[in-house]
Amino acid sequence: MSASETATETVSESEKKIHGVTAEFTSVDTLLAACRRVRDAGYTKTDAFAPFAVHGIDKALGIKPTVLPWIALIGGVTGVTVALCMQIWMNAIDYPYIISGKPFISLPAFIPVAFELTILLASFGAFFGMWALNGLPRFSNPMFTNPRFDRVTDDTFFLFVDSKDERFDQAGVERLFADCGGEHIDTVVEDDSPTKVPSFLIVAWLVSVALSIIPLLIVAKMRVTNSSSPRFHIFFDMDFSPARDAQQTTSIFADNRAARPDIPGTVARGQVQDLSFTTGIEKLSSNAPKPSEHLVAFMQESDDSKTTGGAAQKSVMDTTVWLDKNPRKVDASLLERGQQQFGIYCSVCHGMNGGGNGLVNQRAQKLSQSTWIQPSSLHQETLYSDKYPDGKLFSTITNGIRKMPGYAGQIKAKDRWAIVAYVRALQQSQNASIDLVPQAKRASLEKEKAGVEKRLKEEAEEAQKKAGESKKDSPKPA
Amino acid sequence: MSEHAPVVVKPADHEAFKLPASLSALGLPLCIGGAIALFVGLGLGYSSVSAKFGMSAYLTAFMYCFTIVMGSLFFVLIQHLSRAGWSVVVRRVAELMMMMIVPLAVLFLPILATLFTGEGVLYRWDSSTFWADAHIADEVVANKTGYLSQGFFAIRAVFYFAVWCFLAYYFFKKSTDQDETGEKAATDQMQWWSGPAVMAFSGTLSFAAFDWVMSLSPMWFSTMFGVYIFAGSILSAHCAIAAGTYLLQSKGALKDEVTVEHYHDLGKLIFGFVFFWTYISFSQFMLIWYGNIPEETEWFFVRQQETWVTVAFVLIGLHWLLPFLGTMSIHVRRKPFLVFCWACYILVMHYFDVYWMIMPEAYSGIHGDAYATAGGAIGVVSSLLCVVGMAALLVGVILKLATQTKVAAIRDPRFRESMAFENI
């Protein structure tokens, strides 16, 4: 400044606002020493500038620990929460979609995104938090008015005391700096360079805004107009997947089938199941053939039954040792599932109560179809579990009987067992005594029973009364 | 702190750089007690549970100590590679620990011996009938047995130990010689060699992890496994360095040299490596879980049965979440005692990690015994005796070694810089 101190400037100098006082230091050690002196003198609105990070300067200047870590932590916690909520909402609530056979809410699959978003928002918190704490972005700083300040990026250290400091006293600060060995002690004055944005920047900005609209306009035009040229495929194999669909042909295999049949003698992964579970037939003994042999034998048997007709099937039925007990654990949820599946697949013929008078039967009766065979009532004694074991009932659902088709293709084995359990419950319901009802629930049942009896009685009386009235009334018009 | 008082480097023969007498007196008792405990633990597992169990417990103890020692070696290498100044005052602790690779080479002999005595005592592939029993295709067997054969396995193990012993000895000798001579050239040489040394280290450690741990499940493979071992290794090494330094200070050594700043840095690295371990182990898990291919899921499937799934959740909650939250704060890291506590805690959790890695193979096996818990109370006692015994034995050897050297690299050119180091 001493160089620029001319007669003309001394007038304007006194009018300029003074921001503070700065001093130069030539080494880290003198800077740190000066920092401690300034701190001990009680100044708080201070700042130090160095070409590189100086460890220990926070303490030397008496700067309080920053709250930045907390901002970063809040950012990180927000990130992990947003990421998990977003993925759960997207994949499990708004648009439930099975990906790779994983559950809708599949935490391991969500963790990479949660991790990345945690890092991103924590970094944003640290970066923009640092901006906010430092009052950035700031395009001009009064420090820049001092041409010597450029050397702070090179080899010089600066210390600055702000005039807003409560204890600020220009002469005192200057004296303190001089005591500490500071050189070129200067006042920092208002930056009087023009604040107007240069016009070429405005022009450049307007031009770039105008140019950036062009792609949007092209997109908008294409959305409302037709074109005769074919669509442009950026990722051809994504628009036209080379994967074949079911029933399509391919030239890769000699038989031209795209859907590959199972290799003979193999069972696909996950398809091996307990045979008694899928057939309803009990294993004969512990030294029975291996499951695979058993399966092959069973398949051959069912193939035979197809070719030779019902006779073979009957012989299988008769000689088979059926499972006596439902292999699934019978509880309320299984019965509910069974009720639901029964309602979907069985009730149309067998009726909701299993009595054999479903909607299809009613319609057939109405049309007087001569070929129609009445569906069995499930409440015949011959179908009770002592005469018709669970395994046999299961097998009937699986393979069909008489006019009834097999449901193996439509209902999963475990659901067929649920239906078996439900049918048993239906049968039980027709022969149940009050002793089977838990003590606690009997009262409500009795109450319900009394209510129904009362209602029936009232209805009967009303009907009687009506009948009596119509009898009384009938002579009148006659 | 040191802001007003300039850094004073004490003379080389000062008490602060000698192993405190209370610690050096522990050396011999620890060696003897450790050896006895190790022997009893191995014998108990070997005879009361099964040969395979005993050897697996021994391998677990071995891998626990081995990972810490290898992490220390890496710590020393990386300090030279990055020409770090801050760590000079604590580097000798790591240097003493890395020298334990020499006794570990001897302690590896029982593991090597299992290959030449009996069929599949420890490693399932070490059995002439394994491949046929597991119905593995001939082509695969031919490819696998080329690598997993007794002779080649032994040759590789000898090679690994030769490399590590050489590296450890070279860096230890240079550094301790510098205590006497104070020549700066030793630092330059160590810095120059640290680059090739890190490369040799990473290659050998990865393959050692494949050989010694991954091959317990011979049909399973994960290219990430070496990094997984390394992650636990570098984490536990930082913990051991922090804990060892704290113990030295509590007995009176390095009182003024190691400051809160060094604990702060070690704490930061522990915090970072806690997450690094989690990141690596989760990455390994997630790829396999997502692909869901039976050949690859086998390893995790076994570790999700019965007790092992509990251990897996313990690892998630107590090896990652708790220390991650616990070491996050600057206020924890700047309290040496808390850093010491967390370091000890993570060293315990590291044992869970190694146990979970190795012990399920002692029972499981698609074609082996049924899944079982940790061999009952006897199994637990035997495993703990093995690891406590081996660790005590090695600590005893470290203390013996430390009596012959200084406990800090006092004439390292960056010693003064390290003492004056400040974080903030």
Contacts of A65 in chain B (CB under 8 A): 330
Nearest to B3 among A56, A65, A109 (CB): A56
Nearest to A60 among B3, B290, B328 (CB): B3
Tens digit of pLDDT for each residue in B84-119?
999 999 999 999 999 999 999 999 999 999 999 888
Asked if B290 and A109 come within 8 Å (Cβ–Cβ), the reply is yes
Which residues on neighbouring strands pair with residue A49, listed in sequence order? A158
Structure tokens belonging to residue A152: 């702070």
Residue type, A416: R
Confidence of residue B185 (pLDDT cuts 50, 70, 90): very high
Q: Looking at the complex, does the CB of residue B421 fall below 8 Å from at least one CB of chain A?
A: yes
Confidence of residue A277 (pLDDT cuts 50, 70, 90): confident
Please give the Cα distance from B311 to B356 (Å, whole number).
7
Nearest to B289 among A32, A65, A108 (CB): A108
Nearest-CA residue of chain A relative to B292?
A100
Which value, to the nearest 10 degrees, does the dihedral of the CA atoms of residues B13, B15, B21, B23 take?
-100
pLDDT at res. B370: 47
* Interfacial residues of A (vs B; Cβ cutoff 8 Å): 32, 36, 55-56, 58-60, 65, 69, 73, 100-102, 108-109, 111-112, 115, 269
Nearest to A108 among B3, B286, B330 (CB): B286
CA distances from B233 to A56, A245, B99, B229 (A): 32, 50, 15, 6
Interface test with B, best of A55, A63, A100, A107 (most B CBs within 10 A): A55
B257: closest CA of chain A, how far (Å): 17
A226: closest CA of chain B, how far (Å): 43
pLDDT at res. B414: 93
B307: closest CA of chain A, how far (Å): 21
Please give the Cα distance from B110 to B62 (Å, whole number).
10
User: Domain ranges in chain B?
Assistant: 21-415
* Higher pLDDT, residue B57 or A315: B57
Structure tokens belonging to residue A386: 């002592």
Q: Looking at the complex, does the CB of residue B423 fall below 8 Å from at least one CB of chain A?
A: yes
Q: Which of A123-127, A203-207, A362-366, B386-390 has the lowest mean pLDDT?
A: A362-366
Q: What is the CA radius of gyration of chain A?
A: 45
Question: Do the bridges between strand A18-25 and strand A404-405 make them parallel or antiparallel, or are there none, so unpaired?
Answer: unpaired
Instruction: Using alpha carbons, select from B118, B139, B113 the residue that is nearest to residue B128.
Output: B118
Half-sphere exposure of A162 (CA within 13 A, CB side): 10
Asked if A108 and B421 come within 8 Å (Cβ–Cβ), the reply is no
Contacts of A112 in chain B (CB under 8 A): 286
List of residues 6+ apart from A289 with CB closer than 8 A: A297
Nearest to B424 among A58, A100, A109 (CB): A58
Per DSSP, which regions of A197-274 are E strands?
none
Tens digit of pLDDT for each residue in B344-356?
999 999 999 999 9
Nearest-CA residue of chain B relative to A29?
B3
**Residue B196: cis peptide before it, omega within 30 degrees of 0:** no
| Rounded (5°) CA angle B307-B308-B314 | 95
Helix axes B225-250, B88-98, angle to 10 degrees: 120
List of residues 6+ apart from B312 with CB closer than 8 A: B303, B304, B356
Contacts of B292 in chain A (CB under 8 A): 100-101
Tens digit of pLDDT for each residue in B304-341?
877 888 899 999 999 999 999 999 999 999 999 999 99
| Helices and strands (H and E) in chain A: how many | 17, 6
Please check the confidence at residue A460 and state whether its pLDDT lies above 70: yes
Tens digit of pLDDT for each residue in A7-48?
444 445 556 788 888 999 988 888 988 999 888 888 888 889
Q: Looking at the complex, does the CB of residue B139 fall below 8 Å from at least one CB of chain A?
A: no
Asked if B423 and A55 come within 8 Å (Cβ–Cβ), the reply is yes
Taking the CA atoms of B34, B40, B45 and B51 in sequence, report the sign of the dihedral they define. positive
pLDDT at res. B367: 38
B85: closest CA of chain A, how far (Å): 13
Please give the Cα distance from A181 to B72 (Å, whole number).
46
Q: Looking at the complex, does the CB of residue B330 fall below 8 Å from at least one CB of chain A?
A: yes
pLDDT at res. B133: 83
Structure tokens belonging to residue B30: 């620890």
Asked if B294 and A56 come within 8 Å (Cβ–Cβ), the reply is no
Q: Looking at the complex, does the CB of residue B282 fall below 8 Å from at least one CB of chain A?
A: yes
DSSP structure string for B138-181: HHHHHHHHHHS-HHHHHHHHHHHHHHHHHHHHHHHHHHHHHHHH
Name, of A80-84, A167-171, B146-150, B287-291, the range with top average pLDDT. A80-84
Asked if A56 and B422 come within 8 Å (Cβ–Cβ), the reply is yes
pLDDT at res. A138: 81
